[in-house]
Structure 1
Amino acid sequence: MSAYLLDRANGATMLTIPVGHTLAGLRDVLGEIAELSAVLATQGTSALAVDTGETLPVSAPDQVRSAASSPAAPPSIHYRGGTARDDDGLFWEINGTEGDIRVSGPTGHTQMVQLSLKGARGDEKAFRPLEISASYRSGWPADVEPGNVARVYARMARDLREGTRTAPSFDDAVAVHRVIAAIERAAESGSRTRGEILARRGRLRSIRRAVLRQSSSFG
């Protein structure tokens, strides 16, 4: 990784970039986070900066662990630096009263990789691929990153035409950064910290537990 990403003071870390993007998705699916506890650690104290060729000290955390509470489910998150040994660098499982959903991908950069969606209901013993509407696939760039940007722009344009609010907003970005700040405060203090208080009560109450484990190329 580049030298800029190694220094926590620069603000560009595993927590603020890949974890931040994934927190945005987690909030969209499960709702707001009310409070949390967290641990941040830097296991690798030095790394090769690919842009300078130097081995430099690392102060950015390469381990992020958090246990949170929300009206919908109590999510637990473990994000680690490095690369996965298989294609499941991302593993996100949501356990509900009627079944389970699993989202997976090759790395923890959720915003940059092709995700796989599987599910199981009732007494089913194995996960099976879930059908995704063609509207999410056809008519968009095939590559993940431009495709994601194009879909967001299309939602923004539709909101402007129709007066709706379906696209992510600055308010959503602020809410994600409040959670990031709460993770940092909880890790520093060693105590449980309030994250967001504007919980969308009543949403997805049937979900019992959400577990998110990810690997990122950071660290």
Structure 2
Amino acid sequence: MAELGVGIVGANPDTGWAFTAHVPAIAATEGLRVTAVATTREATAKRAAAELGTDVGWHTDPVALVRDPKVDIVLISVKVPKHRELIMPALEAGKQVLSEWPLGVDTAEATALAEAADRAGVRGFIGFQGRGDPVINQARRLIGDGALGELQALSVRSSRSKGSAISAANAYTLDVSSAAGNLEVHGGHLIDLLGHLIPGLAVINGETALLRRTYRIAGTETEVTATSPDVFTAAVRLGDSGGVGGLTVWDGDPDARTVITLQGLDGRLDLHTVDPGGDHRLRQPQMAPFAGMITVGGRTTDLAPPPNDLPVAARNVATLYANLVRDLREGTTTAPTFADAVAVHRELDLIR
């Protein structure tokens, strides 16, 4: 069966997330290959293409990439405010789309994109890669099999290590209009992961706060003002069980991690992220590997991730791509979609 070609919009080989996570994940996925790249600068686009192979096309106009006959799937890996103007031409051209989360700057924009994908008759996929974590999926199966019994209570704390200094490349995330702050990126990925772990989980309400209002650009004395909340809490309901839970999510933790405790009438699940080392961004719950244990009837069973030779940032993304290919080939619905993105956008609205 012929390979599916992926065109990457936002393929900066120096600072782009696409090269860090998506390129190795695509290379590890049977039935996929990168066939075209696009960046705003010719020199960067040419270099990205050269690093990926002599037959990879390059573009400075993303619409030209969308129209490239070698491109079947368009990956959108740019800042959120640009998503709509780049996704729409891809949908209109009948191309399948994988967008990084968040899908849009707000729920209205995300809903419009989901509706446009439906009208175009193509698949819109969203980058909720946390669903690919092997321990999260093992725990999901155990919960589904009734190992914990009726679910009673959930406690979650999740932190990132963003402190008083921030890189110039990431300073834009401090602006609430970027839709790329703690609530949107960290919170959105976490809430989707928890909804995957515990089907039927729903946000009831929440509250946000902005505590650190100024940051310094790393390596300089330049200060920038933050307008995006750096802390939030949320109350959740655990599906049909009647159980409830709470989330506390924040920035500025030098020992950043995610800890999940789920109590049922018959047992308890304890999960935590494992520090992968290196880039502090990899400690976020959609990337850091989970480990933990399940305790039932006084007997504890450890849950540990299997060996994986891929870079940490690419592991869960590779699972997302494997599911995406299966969905396109077999008509299944295993990869997260634009509809899933709209659902999380709506849950974030209940927290704001």
Q: Could you state the TM-score of these two structures normalised by the residue count of structure 1?
A: 0.71
Name the structure 2 match of 1:121: 296
Post-superposition shift, 1:37? Answer: 2.1
* 1:153 correspondence with 2:326: no
Post-superposition shift, 1:21? Answer: 0.7
Name the structure 1 match of 2:250: 80
Post-superposition shift, 1:90? Answer: 0.9
2:197 maps to amino acid: V
CA distance in 2, matches of 1:79, 1:172: 21
1:122 maps to amino acid: G
Secondary structure, counterpart of 1:147 in structure 2: helix
Distance verdict in 2 for CA 1:38–1:99, change over 3 Å? same
Match of 1:162 among 330, 339, 343: 330
After TM superposition, list the pairs within 5 Å mapping 1:16-31 onto structure 2: 16-31=184-199
Post-superposition shift, 1:167? Answer: 1.2
Name which structure has the greater RCO, CA cutoff 8 Å, separation 6+: 1
Between Structure 1 and Structure 2, which shows a larger proportion of helix residues? 2
Post-superposition shift, 1:32? Answer: 3.6
* 1:99 correspondence with 2:267: yes
Question: Structure 1 unaligned runs (5+)?
Answer: 185-219
CA distance in 2, matches of 1:112, 1:53: 31
CA distance in 1, matches of 2:207, 2:254: 21
Contact 1:48 / 1:54 at 8 angstroms: preserved in 2?
A: yes
Q: Alpha-carbon deviations, 1:64-120, whole Å to 9, x = none?
A: 1111224244231000111244xx621111111221112211476111212213221
Post-superposition shift, 1:179? Answer: 0.7
* 1:65 correspondence with 2:224: no
Post-superposition shift, 1:160? Answer: 2.2
Q: Aligned-pair RMSD on alpha carbons? A: 2.3
Percent identity reads: 27
Q: Could you state the TM-score of these two structures normalised by the residue count of structure 2?
A: 0.45
1:102 maps to amino acid: D
Question: Structure 2 unaligned runs (5+)?
Answer: 1-165, 276-281
2:249 maps to amino acid: Y
Distance verdict in 2 for CA 1:114–1:70, change over 3 Å? closer
- Who wins on radius of gyration, i.e. which is larger? 2
After TM superposition, list the pairs within 5 Å mapping 1:1-219 onto structure 2: 1=166, 2-50=170-218, 53-71=221-239, 72=241, 73-85=243-255, 89-105=257-273, 106=275, 109-124=284-299, 128-130=301-303, 137=307, 141-184=309-352
CA distance in 2, matches of 1:65, 1:113: 21
CA distance in 1, matches of 2:202, 2:314: 33
Post-superposition shift, 1:151? Answer: 0.9
CA distance in 1, matches of 2:298, 2:179: 46
Distance verdict in 2 for CA 1:181–1:145, change over 3 Å? same
CA distance in 2, matches of 1:36, 1:158: 34
Distance verdict in 2 for CA 1:51–1:17, change over 3 Å? farther
Aligned residues: 175
Name the structure 2 match of 1:192: none
Distance verdict in 2 for CA 1:51–1:10, change over 3 Å? farther
Secondary structure, counterpart of 2:236 in structure 1: strand
Name the structure 1 match of 2:81: none
CA distance in 2, matches of 1:20, 1:77: 12
2:209 maps to amino acid: A
1:98 maps to amino acid: D
Q: Alpha-carbon deviations, 1:126-153, whole Å to 9, x = none?
A: x652255x5xx56xx5322211111111
Secondary structure, counterpart of 1:25 in structure 2: helix
